[in-house]
A = this chain, B = another copy of it.
């Protein structure tokens, strides 16, 4: 993956410059917060996938960089809202915006970035771009709301429900990024649809791996504490697998811990030990791998090119990353 980042480094520098120059507001607080947020080094996965998707169909240049910057605006808007929703202390290794400027600033600057992206995408005057981005934002918010609705089920949602939530929450925007790259490159409808499906699979795997690393990642490298999701009462695939496989007594114990929301490092350690016993982490990674396999098989229908190869590497990276 390091080769892909290197190979497209200059394109990503252009995107970075677009991200900072398109903020376009004279309100000092907006400039201040947006600059702070965008100087936090996000991985820029969505802009990269958009660039590569456009390149797959032979398109590059200024408009691609601009569109890639707007995808990052929308992603950042959701982070600003999620941090308030989750009461997160840190983001990308820095203190979260709502901790520094208050919840209201995090909510409103999120709204502003979202509106700015929608406004700018309208100016491309391509109906499909508007439809794809609006669809994905609608699905993302549905996914977030599903996530926040499941607490009442004591974690006993089905794997299919979890997958649906993840497809909405994370898959939808990555799917949109890939499809928008294809649309801007004038790909035909089947090409656009292929890139949408590629992005949906990659994005879904990305979130499953993220959810799994929460139980196996190294605290420092992840920049967050192990078992953070469970501490917030969030049920993700490894825990879901565990809940469905332990006996009734243990299940009740875990559900009690989930509701209590005050887990110690010892509790998390016990859960991780149980996950190892029941193969919950392995199961989650296997599901993620199935999505990446699907993504790569979609690429199979395209002729060889550096962009295709880079998308292939990026898909694999979702499984191999350790943070």
Contacts and interface: CB of A to CB of B under 8 A. Distances in A.
Interface of A: 25, 27-30, 81, 84-86, 103-105, 107-109, 111-112, 114-116, 118-119, 122-123, 125, 127, 130-131, 134-135, 137-138, 140-142, 144-146, 148-149
Contacts of A141: 108-109, 111-112, 115
A148 B29 contact: yes
Contact of A111 (B27, B81, B116, B122): B81
Contacts of A112: 138, 141-142, 145
A145 B103 contact: no
Contact of A103 (B103, B105, B108, B131): B103
B144 A115 contact: no
Contacts of A145: 27, 29-30, 105, 108-109, 112
Main secondary structure on A side of the interface with B: helix
Nearest to A104: B85
Contacts of A148: 29, 104-105, 108
A194 to B, nearest CB: 22
Given A29-B148, A116-B138, 20 more contacts: A27-B142, A27-B145, A27-B146, A29-B145, A30-B142, A81-B108, A81-B111, A84-B104, A105-B148, A107-B107, A108-B141, A111-B141, A111-B144, A112-B138, A115-B134, A115-B138, A118-B130, A119-B137, A119-B138, A122-B130
**Copies held by the complex:** 2
A144 B108 contact: yes
Given A27-B145, A141-B112, A119 B104 contact: no
Contacts of A134: 115, 118-119, 122
Contacts of A86: 104
A28 B131 contact: no
14 contacts: A27-B149, A29-B149, A30-B145, A81-B111, A84-B103, A86-B104, A108-B144, A108-B145, A111-B144, A112-B138, A112-B142, A112-B145, A119-B137, A122-B131
A84 B149 CA distance: 19
Contacts of A146: 27
B122 A107 contact: no
A63 to B, nearest CB: 17
B118 A137 contact: yes
A111 B74 CA distance: 12
Contact of A119 (B84, B114, B135): B135
Contacts of A138: 112, 115-116, 119
Q: Which 8 A-B pairs have the closest CB atoms?
A: A119-B134, A85-B104, A115-B138, A112-B141, A115-B137, A111-B141, A122-B130, A29-B149
A149 B115 contact: no
